[in-house]
Amino acid sequence: MPKNIAQNIHQPVLLVETLQLLKPQADEFFVDATLGLGGHTEAILAKSKETQVIGIDQDLEAIGLAKERLNSFGERFKVFHSNFSDIKQVLAEAKIEKVDGVLADLGVSSLQFDSRTRGFSFRFDAPLDMRMNRESNLETAADLLETLSEFEIAKIIYEYGEERLSRRIARRIVEKRDSGEPIKTTKQLVETIEKAVGRGKKDKIHPATRTFQALRIAVNGELEILERFVRDSVEILKKDGRLAVITFHSLEDRIVKQTMQKLSGKCFCPPKFPQCVCGAKKEVEILTRKPVVPSELETEENPRSRSAKLRACLKLN
Ligand SMILES: C[S@@+](CC[C@H](N)C(=O)[O-])C[C@H]1O[C@@H](n2cnc3c(N)ncnc32)[C@H](O)[C@@H]1O
Ligand SMILES: [Zn+2]
């Protein structure tokens, strides 16, 4: 069977492992909160003739390609152009109360990362946009670099990029802006970073990698919505429903891990508190004591999967 465009663009990460945890059965209903190019959804729908999936994505371009790919599943697949922070509203709109499983495969897709025009990657010279949802009125990365203070820019690069040279980079960015040359393109940003930190021959990763990650997270508000999303997803699960989340960096993984732990009844109060005030209550059972990571074969075939971590939990009541 000839592959369609979406299949060629993005390889679904940890696909077998995700299906083992989500365990889609006939008649079950799933939400794919990060539809992307529809790779995971296609595999869920292919599991049985009656499984249904609602796909959510904030990127219209991805939705267009996923729709084409999943066309043959007819009414069993529906799609919503939305942010997954609105998962409860999406479900209400679809007139569905509870579901058997929710999947989120976070971050950007290869469609976005390999785009020559959207500014996600320093491999291509493009306007510094980085919005996953181009129909939104979110500020672009260039807007942030033009309007935030030096302190705020450094904080973003340090916290979201874990870049220890964040202050040097922020200073250079603001110096350029003050001299009447605000940074508008990926190439200008790369050059500014290289001037700020130099380029050691021994560097394993490009010196701009962490700053680009940080700006993307800030532009799309990726971390702020994550704890709420995990909680909302658990809320909409039926008893014995499953939630699976794939993350791509330690900041995301920490939030997912801790939120699942809290929902599994672990108390996060300081040890000296005489009694629990954090409201720990056992609502889920954690299915992945350690995060599931890709096999060597997968990382060889798909280097993008290298940093992936999969965690899952089961709703108890
Ligand atoms: C890694 S890709 C998903 C790939 C998909 N699992 C597949 O196999 O083709 C992540 C997708 O999630 C979308 N996305 C990221 N954050 C989102 C959010 N907060 N709300 C809705 N979609 C989001 C991105 O636009 C992107 O298309
Ligand atoms: Zn507590």
State the average pLDDT over residues 199-208. 79
Task: Answer positive or negative: Cα dihedral of 286, 290, 295, 300.
Answer: positive
With a 6 Å cutoff on the Cβ, whether 132 touches ligand 1 is: yes
Residue 4 and residue 69 in contact, taking contact as beta carbons nearer than 8 Å:
yes
Whole-model pTM: value is 0.95
Q: What is the DSSP string of the chain?
A: ----HHHHH-PPTTHHHHHHHH---TT-EEEETT-TTSHHHHHHHHT-SS-EEEEEES-HHHHHHHHHHHGGGGGGEEEEES-GGGHHHHHHHTT---EEEEEEE-S--HHHHT-SSSS--TTS--BS---S-TTS-PPPHHHHHHHS-HHHHHHHHHHHH--TTHHHHHHHHHHHHHTT----BHHHHHHHHHHHH---TT-SS-TTHHHHHHHHHHHHTTTTTHHHHHHHHHHTEEEEEEEEEEESSHHHHHHHHHHHHHHBT---S-TT-SS--S---B-EEES-SS-B---HHHHHH-GGGTT-EEEEEEE--
Calculated CA dihedral for residues 145, 162, 247, 299, nearest 10 degrees = 110
**Is residue 301 pLDDT above 90, yes or no?**
yes
State the average pLDDT over residues 94-105. 97
How far apart are the CA of 246 and the centre of ligand 2, in A?
27
Nearest CA owner, ligand 1 atom 22: 57
| 202 or 313, higher pLDDT | 313
When the pLDDT of each residue in the chain is averaged and rounded to a whole number, the result is 95
pLDDT at 204: 80
Q: Nearest ligand to the C-alpha of residue 279? A: 2
Residue 267 and residue 280 in contact, taking contact as beta carbons nearer than 8 Å:
yes
How far apart are the CA of 206 and the centre of ligand 1, in A?
24
* Range of lowest pLDDT (90-94, 141-145, 170-174, 197-201): 197-201
What confidence tier does 1 reach under pLDDT thresholds 50, 70, 90?
very low
State the average pLDDT over residues 157-178. 97
Nearest CA owner, ligand 1 atom 5: 36
Instruction: Please tell me the distance from the alpha carbon of residue 292 to that of residue 295, in angstroms, as a whole number.
Output: 9
Atom of ligand 1 nearest to the CA of 36: 27
pLDDT at 280: 86
With a 6 Å cutoff on the Cβ, whether 247 touches ligand 1 is: no
Percent of the chain with pLDDT over 90: 91
Q: Nearest ligand to the C-alpha of residue 278? A: 2
With a 6 Å cutoff on the Cβ, whether 37 touches ligand 1 is: yes
pLDDT at 201: 66
pLDDT at 266: 93
